A and B are shown apart, each in its own frame.
Chain A
Amino acid sequence: MLNLFLIQALNGVQLGILLFLVAAGLTLIFGVMDLINLAHGALYMIGAYLAATLTAATGSFGLGLLLALPATLAFGLALEVLVVRHLYGRDHLDQVLATFGLILILNEGVRIVWGAAPMSVPVPDALSGSVHLVGTLHYPLYRVAIIAAGLATALGLHLLVNHTRLGMRLRAGASNGPMVAALGVDIRRLFLVVFGLGAMLAGFAGAMVAPILSVDPGMGDSVLILTFVVIVIGGVGSVRGAFVAGLLVGLADQLGRTFGPILLRSVMDASAASQTGRTLAPMLIYILMAAVLFFRPSGLFPARGSR
């Protein structure tokens, strides 16, 4: 039981870390640019596909991953220049429609280029196998690597946001955008950098999960919604909020799926408990979101009031 709990907790942390990577960029895009970008999940998908293709081409996952990062960055920058840039300052409804259109284009484009069948990427040899944790508990080495890489990225982001000039502008932009523009910061470049950074982080997350999930055209959509939940809980514009909320959502989801039915067994019979638990578990994070919103309408770490 304890082993199961630890495994699921680690899975939760791993999911949380991935959600954080996708959410960190998106929360800044919301916060700094006041842009609702539905196509962010598609960048995660693009990252996964690029990593899969480049891994196959180079024969090395490490090299594939390394090449996928600048490729997703370039893709994100191109997207910003071609489409997203023209949406700043527009009505939220326009942003919803245009980025919804982008999702359709990107999902369909991926189907055309890579086909509708899922792609798989082998776990790199160096990271296959598992690590011994405590007692009889083993955990796949690759997943440990994901957690480690995610935490390292989170630390890097923390330093970037809190201890650099760019980070200062980001924080200022998230709390008061027009003021930053008035102070003469090149807002166009700032926005481009934020969007590119966000795209690369999402692509990084997509590339890292490629070996453990199937890479398919709808993969960005489910992540997008989870990311929204993370951002809403954490507070729009807050990278710290995205980190805390990402872990919270990841843990709630993974632990809920396993332990929901077990807990319910104490109040109902086993088959009903497993049935009810399986039905309710996927809803848990949304209930969590509703509860947080009820008490804190602008999330746990609001960068500015909800509007």
Chain B
Amino acid sequence: MTTPLLSVRNLRKSYGALKVTDDVSLDVASGELHAIIGPNGAGKTTLIHQLSGSLPSDSGTVHLAGEDVTPLSMVARVRRGLARSFQITSILDGFSVLENVALAVQARSDSSFRFFRPSAGETALNAEAMTALDRVGLADRAGRRAGSLSHGEKRQLELAVALATNARLLLLDEPLAGTGPEESAILVGLMRALKATHTIVLIEHDMDAVFALADRMSVLVYGRVIASGAPDTVRSDPAVRAAYLGEEEAA
């Protein structure tokens, strides 16, 4: 078997006595869309923070394409091709849509310690940014102020920014959060298209979307992975039905 693009081993994080992630291990093969599901408070967002490097782990390792990235900061991991989107929309409201994306291109192309040439006029940066915007269907919004976009468009912009980092692996933290049915359909279509070119770790509450998109999935309950595998296998796993679907029905 080839080396998985993302390999997580025995990852742990506790706050005092509370184990938020507890011995999480999972592999994500190149080209796979791996969904992580679980009830609220299962530790999904904490896990994303640990994977992206914004939160240090207590123990365990994260390997990206065979390289141990556990001690690396978020910035260093982004440079190695691991990009994330945010659950709460996090874009530069005061910048244009194009500039939001162009900044991500700028981050990986040459030095940003250039002081005199106007960055807004750099055609190479803008062209690459437009490619990313085009992929998420926002090309016609490029000149708009990012803060003026609709909620769904902002979620699309988040995706475009993550794409523009040239990531090999996208960590998407609830990309559908707060979107209506129409917006959500657009985003699901987008993610389906992204699957062709990117390896994706998707955290999502919308089960229809998850089962429509995922190649494999892991179920996180109280910080532990209780099941991992193809959607159908997971769906019929008794532990999952008891712990997760049971709670859904109860709720």
Question: Direct contact between A and B in the complex (CB less than 8 angstroms)?
Answer: no
